[in-house]
Amino acid sequence: MEPKPQPEYSEELQPGSLTKIQYLDAAKRAAIELGWDITTEEEDILVCHTPSNTYSHGEFITIKAEGDFFTFQSKSASESTWLDQNPNEVNATLFKEALASVTGNNSDIQNKTRPRGKDILKVLIPSGEHLITPIIVYINIAVFIIMVLAGVSFIQPNTSDLLNWGGNFRPDTVTGGWWRLFTSMFLHAGIIHLLANMYALLYIGLLLEPLLGRFRYAAAYILAGICSGLMSIVVHTNVVAVGASGAIFGLYGVFLAMLTTNYIEKETRNAMLKSILLFVGYNLLYGMQGNIDNAAHIGGLISGLAIGYVYIHGVRREHDIKTQATITGIIAVCVVGLTVLTMNVVTGDLVIYQRDMKGFIANEKLAVKIYKMRTDLPREEMLHNIRDIGIYNWNENIKILNEIAKLDLPPKIKENDEILMQYCLLRISSYELLYKKISEQTDAYDDEIKQDNEKIIEMINGLKEKS
């Protein structure tokens, strides 16, 4: 007796407003929800296999792009015995229901890219699709509150406070403070700076986090933020940079990369592309006014674009955790390599100079404490302080200036260092006269001490005018 033909069923399906890539992506999610095994996944076709049961070895499901529509085909893997309804027709019904559920629950990919003002504030409430964005916002706000409670200005923190809290400053960053590349992206120079950045983050988070998923989104924020910090220390030699804007520009870069592919529906893509380009262009132009780290913005944007183009392959396979981890790992390794390379490149003579000048300032602070010395101290203790703290530290600064003189530095810095050398020599002269005055218990040196101090004040004022 001839074997029964293997039953099959096929029909045409319309993708609606979804692109080919979006439809196949949604079809894959629907298949996974139904428990079907994915056996083939290519640009135009998805092949699945349903589980075996008592009556059959399962069915092969094929969803294939055919121009403006898709064909759905379910074919039994072997001769089957059905007691009731053709399982291939059942598969078609189940698939369409699951597909409707998948696209409905996610409001379609294109609907995710149509944010409204009230939706932006909703992102502040952690949810399934928007978890990382509010966490980042709350971390930034918490850090700012802690800084204010610790005494940092609410409106305009001074540079030293920002540096102490982890600001990105080339001399410190490249000489062991690499962690500043991370901490600086959670610091802000005042409440206005914080609010502006958090609004921009909420806006892009509403659009991007559902598309990337939590893991990729968080990684993109951190990695782009690090790259923005690297660009900042390459461009700026003496600027303390803070703020989340570099990392945020990175997220905009990721979204721009996705908008240049066909992953998002064409009509929505064109509208959003104009909006995002307008935002990026305006903020880059605004950053040219000064006091804004445009280098970090550009570094974040470029790195975000690169991350986005790499990520697009993983987004199309969002259920493949291994692929996600591999792609993110490759990006992370590249960022680490870029960090090491940048550190080596920017660690030049100017950085060494800035590092050594920190030592100069520390020695100076110790030396001038002599002027606050109690007058009722025993004479031997006073002489010890003048000789072993005051004069000693001024001599240490002369050693520092002699080492600095060997560096390849701009003429203006060399000129200032020559003045600093005269300043140190005057300080030593003044301290030696003070030592004699106390040792000999005489006022004979008062006029000379006064003359030295007048020259020192004049020299300090001259250096302030040049800086």
CB-count burial class (<10 Å; 0-12, 13-18, 19+) for 161: middle
User: Tens digit of pLDDT for each residue in 84-116?
Assistant: 457 888 888 888 888 887 776 444 444 444 455
Residue-level pLDDT at 396: 94
Residue-level pLDDT at 119: 60
Tell me, what DSSP letter sits at residue 259? Answer: H
Output phi, psi for 308, to 5 deg: -60, -45
| Structure tokens, 47 | 């092949």
CA–CA gap between residue 65 and residue 68 (Å, rounded): 8
Q: Which CATH architecture has domain 115-346?
A: Up-down Bundle (1.20)
| Structure tokens, 460 | 């300090």
What is the per-residue DSSP string for 388-414? IIIIHHHHHHHHHHHHHTTS---HHHH
Cβ 256 vs Cβ 304: under 8 Å: yes
- Mean pLDDT, the chain, as a whole number? 82
Tell me, what DSSP letter sits at residue 386? Answer: I
Q: Which of 245, 313, 319, 439 is catalytic?
A: 245
245 is catalytic: yes
Residue recorded with tokens 């792009």: 65
> Nearest to residue 106, comparing CAs of 129, 131, 130?
129
384 is catalytic: no
CB-count burial class (<10 Å; 0-12, 13-18, 19+) for 328: buried
User: Tens digit of pLDDT for each residue in 287-300?
Assistant: 777 678 888 899 99
pLDDT of 392 > 90? The answer is yes
Domain ranges of the chain: 8-105, 115-346, 349-466
Decide the pairing of beta strands 69-76 and 45-49.
Answer: unpaired
Q: How far is CA 283 from CA 15, 120, 456, in A?
A: 38, 19, 46
Give the pLDDT band (50/70/90) at residue 180: very high
Write down the CATH number for the domain with range 8-105.
Answer: 3.30.310.80
| Structure tokens, 102 | 């998948």
Output phi, psi for 46, to 5 deg: -130, 125
pLDDT of 251 > 90? The answer is yes
Cβ 354 vs Cβ 400: under 8 Å: no
Cβ 431 vs Cβ 391: under 8 Å: yes
User: Tens digit of pLDDT for each residue in 346-390?
Assistant: 666 777 787 788 889 999 999 988 888 888 889 899 999 999 999
Neighbour count for residue 400 (Cβ, 10 Å) = 19
**Mean pLDDT of all residues in 238-265:** 87
pTM, two decimal places: 0.59
The reply to whether 8-105 and 115-346 are identical in fold is no
Q: Which of 56, 297, 303, 430 is catalytic?
A: 297
> CA torsion, points 354, 356, 358, 359, in degrees to nearest 10?
180
